[in-house]
């Protein structure tokens, strides 16, 4: 789309929903194979889509931890 249709940016969203395939009574397995999602922003550069810089941002990870 970026190369052929003149779009400058694309937001790519991917997800896995393993929870619908796992026994809900098996708490050990559910903790290992839970659902997940990722978002990737692709932007057109000076040379098109030749180079990719992939990384993660772990800021805010403490928001996902439930302390008991």
pLDDT tens per residue across span 6-43: 788 888 898 888 777 888 787 777 666 778 888 888 88
Q: Phi and psi of 67, rounded to 5°?
A: -85, 135
Mean pLDDT of 37-58: 75
pTM score: 0.49
Structure confidence at residue 63 (pLDDT): 80
The CA distance from 26 to 33, in Å, is 11
Q: Which residue has the higher pLDDT, 55 or 36?
A: 36
* C-alpha angle 39-18-9 in degrees, rounded to nearest 5: 15
């Amino acid at each position: 789309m970026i190369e052929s249709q003149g779009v400058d940016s694309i937001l790519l969203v991917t997800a896995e929903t393993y929870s619908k395939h796992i026994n809900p009574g098996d708490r050990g397995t559910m903790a290992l194979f839970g659902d997940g999602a990722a978002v990737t922003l692709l932007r057109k550069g000076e040379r098109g889509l030749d180079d990719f810089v992939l990384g993660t941002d772990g800021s805010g990870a403490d928001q996902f931890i439930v302390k008991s």
